Amino acid sequence: MAHSIIEDGRIEGFQTGVHGDVIRPDDDDYDDARAVWNGMIDKRPTLIARCRGAADVIRAVEFARENGLRVAVRGGGHNVAGTAVCDDGIVIDLSEMRGVWVDPEERTAWVQGGATWADVDHNTQTFGLATPGGVVSKTGVAGLTLGGGIGHLRCAYGLSCDNLRSVDVVTANGRYLTASADENEELFWGLRGGGGGLGVVTGFEFDLYPVGPEVSTCFVLYPGDRADEYLHAYREYVSKAPDGVTTLSSTGVMPDEEVFPADVVDDLKVGFLGCYAGSPEDGEEALAPLRELGDPIADFSGTMAYAEFQRILDDDYPDGMRYYWKSLYLDGLTASAIDRIRYWAETAPSPLSTVDVWELGGAITDVDFDESVFAGRHAPFLFGIEANWEDPANDDVNVEWVRDCIADMRQFSDGSFYLNFPGFFEGGEAALETTFGPAYERLIALKDEYDPEGLFDLNRGAKSAD
C-alpha cells in the first residue's frame, strides 16, 4: 500500500470524528507515542490514532482505506519485531483501550484490545480467577493471544488462544464482527494463533479458572558447569510431572549482584521457573524434584500470590533496551540438543541474554490440531533464544549470535517457529509456510476473504495474495 500525503483538512476531519487523540510528527508527544518496547525499532508513522473504543477503530480503518495508508495495529507494543508501528502510514493504537470486565458467575472476562496481562490479572484475581497469559505482565493481551500465548498455566489450561470464547473484530471494510465457535467460525479459527492480520481485535472474551490467590512456584538456579546434567534431569522431570505443573528452563549468565553470591555473578547458570495450578501443598510436592537436582546457587521458590508471580520477570525486560529473539519448535530435548544449548548459552555476547526451553504438551495437546491455526501443538518443547543488550554498537554481534544459533538448532526441529518470538520475520512467506504446514493455504484463503487489499499486511502472519 503506497504512502500518500494527506491534506491537513482531512486529518482535522478525522480528528473531529474520533474521541481519541490523533498524533502527528509535529506534536510534542509524537516520539513517546511511536516508541515501542524494543529500542531497536525506530519507525516514523504519518499518524497515530489513539483509539478510545470500537467506534474510533472503525473510523481509523475507514480513514486508512480511503487515504491509501498502510496500517500498523498496536496492542501492548511488545512484539520484538516492532510490528505495532510503521514508517509512513497510520498506527491504530489501542493502548488506551485497557478495560477488563469479569463475570465471576460465568467465569469469563471480556478484555479490550489494548489491555496488558497485568490489567487482566488485576481484575480476574480479585475474584480468585485467571486465564493463561504470558510470563511478563507488561506484554499485551492482543499480540500474545493472536500468536498463541504460552504462559505459566499452559500445561494446566492451554494457550491463551485456546481459552477464547469469542473475539470482536473490525475488518478491513470497516465491519464490526464477533467471531466464535458459533459465529464467523473460520475467522475465529484463523485468529487463534495466526498472528492477526485479519482485522483489528477490539475485545477478547476468555474463559477463567479458579487459580490462587496463592500458588506454589519454582524459581531455582544451578551452576552452569553442570548445565547438561541439569537439562537432562529437567527432561526426565517434565516427562513425569502432572499437567498442573508448567515450567521452563533458562540458561545464561543472568547477572544480578544483589541476589547472587559475588563469586558466581558472571558464571553460567541454569534456571528453572514455573508454577503449579492447584493447591499450594500439592504444588510444593509436585515441584520439589526440580528444586532437588543439586546444590542451587539460589532458590527463590515458594508459595506466593499468583499475580506477583506473573510479575516476577517484569524488571528484567525494561522498555527501550535492545532485543532480538527467535525460536524453533523442538522435536525433543536430546543429548545433542542439550549440548548445543549449553554451547550457545556460553557464547552469548551479552550477559543479559538467555537460551530457553519451554515445556509444551499437557492441555495444549487436548485441543485438536484443526480447531485453531496455532502451529506448535505437535512439539514437546519450544526453544527460544533471547539476545538482550544495551549498547547499539553491539547490535550486529547480538543479532548474528541469534541467527547462527537458530541455523544450528534447526537440526533438532522441523523448522517451525513460534510467531511471537520471530526475530524480524526474516524468513518471510517460506518460514510461515513451514510453520503452518497444510493450514497455511486455509489461512491465506481467510486473509483473501477478510483483507483482500492487504490493509493489515504489516501484521505478522499471512499476507494477501495480490
Ligand X SMILES: Cc1cc2nc3c(=O)[nH]c(=O)nc-3n(C[C@H](O)[C@H](O)[C@H](O)COP(=O)(O)OP(=O)(O)OC[C@H]3O[C@@H](n4cnc5c(N)ncnc54)[C@H](O)[C@@H]3O)c2cc1C
Nearer to ligand X, 80 or 406 (CB): 80
Does residue 176 bind ligand X (CB under 6 A)? no
The distance of Cα 218 from the centroid of its chain, to the nearest Å, equals 22
Residue selected from 135, 179, 187, 348 as contacting ligand X according to rule CB under 6 A: 135
Cβ 105 to ligand X shortest distance, Å:
27
Q: Is 422 in the site for ligand X (CB under 6 A)?
A: no
68 CB contacts (<8 Å, ≥6 apart)?
1, 2, 4
Short-list 185, 216, 214, 373, CA closest to 287: 216
Pick the closer one to ligand X by CB: 200 or 297: 200
**180-199 residues near ligand X, rule: CB under 6 A:** 196
Q: Shortest approach of ligand X to residue 85 CB, angstroms?
A: 8
Rule CB under 6 A: say whether 77 interacts with ligand X.
yes
**According to CB under 6 A, which one of 58, 60, 61, 94 is a site residue for ligand X?**
94
Using CB under 6 A, which of 137, 139, 166, 251 touches ligand X?
Answer: 139
Nearer to ligand X, 47 or 94 (CB): 94
Please report which residue ranges of 87-203 form alpha helices under DSSP H: 117-125, 141-147, 154-157, 185-191
Q: Which three cell numbers stand for residue 19?
A: 474521541
**Residue keyed to cell 483501550:** 97
The partner residues of 95 in beta bridges, in order of sequence, read: none
Residues found in the chain = 466
Out of 111, 129, 144, 218, the residue judged to bind ligand X by CB under 6 A: 144
Question: Which of 89, 132, 151, 158 touches ligand X by CB under 6 A?
Answer: 151
Q: Which three cell numbers stand for residue 208?
A: 477463567
Instruction: Specify the 3-state DSSP secondary structure of 109.
Output: strand
327 forms part of the interface with ligand X (CB under 6 A): no
Residue range at the interface with ligand X (CB under 6 A); choices 46-54, 145-153, 260-268, 333-341: 145-153
H-helix or E-strand containing 325?
strand 322-330
Using CB under 6 A, pick the residue from 49, 201, 304, 406 that binds ligand X.
201
Write the CB contacts of 50 (distance below 8 Å, at least 6 apart in sequence). Answer: 20, 21, 22, 23, 33, 93, 95, 96
Q: How far is CA 204 from CA 97, 119, 133, 371, 420, in A?
A: 12, 13, 13, 18, 18
Alpha carbon 179 to chain centroid distance?
A: 21
> C-beta of 257: minimal distance to ligand X in Å?
22
DSSP state of 140: B
- Binding part of the chain for ligand X, among 16-24, 76-84, 364-372, 446-454 by CB under 6 A, reads 76-84
Nearest to 40 by CA among 317, 426, 458, 389: 389
Q: Which amino acid would we find at residue 44?
A: R
Tell me the window of 26-34, 70-78, 182-190, 393-401 that interacts with ligand X (CB under 6 A): 70-78
Q: Is 420 in the site for ligand X (CB under 6 A)?
A: yes
Within 10 A of 393 (CB to CB), how many other CB atoms are there?
8
Identify the bridge partners of residue 274 per DSSP, sorted by sequence position.
218, 247
Report the residue number, 135 or 375, with the smaller CB distance to ligand X.
135
The whole-angstrom separation of Cα 15 and Cα 345 is 50
Q: Between residues 125 and 327, which has the closer beta carbon with respect to ligand X?
A: 327
Q: Is 78 in the site for ligand X (CB under 6 A)?
A: yes
Q: What residues are paired with 341 via a beta bridge?
A: none
Question: Closest CB to ligand X among 94 and 238?
Answer: 94
CB of 419 to ligand X, least distance (A): 8
Assess 274 for contact with ligand X (CB under 6 A).
no
Interface characters, 441-460, with ligand X (x: CB under 6 A): ------------------xx
For residue 261, the minimal CB distance to ligand X (Å) is 27
> Which residues on adjacent β-strands are paired with residue 90?
47, 71
Given a contact cutoff of 8 angstroms between Cβ atoms, the answer to whether 200 and 57 are in contact is yes
Note whether 387 binds ligand X by CB under 6 A.
no
Residue 342 interacts with ligand X (CB under 6 A)? no
Rule CB under 6 A: is residue 40 a binding residue for ligand X? no
Residue 100 touches ligand X, criterion: CB under 6 A: no
- Indicate whether 113 belongs to the interface with ligand X (CB under 6 A): yes
Q: Within the chain, how many helices (H) and strands (E) appear?
A: 14, 19
Q: How many residues bind ligand X (CB under 6 A)?
A: 35
Residues found near ligand X in the complex (CB under 6 A): 37, 72-80, 83-84, 94, 113, 134-136, 139-140, 142-144, 146-151, 196, 200-201, 317, 420, 459-460
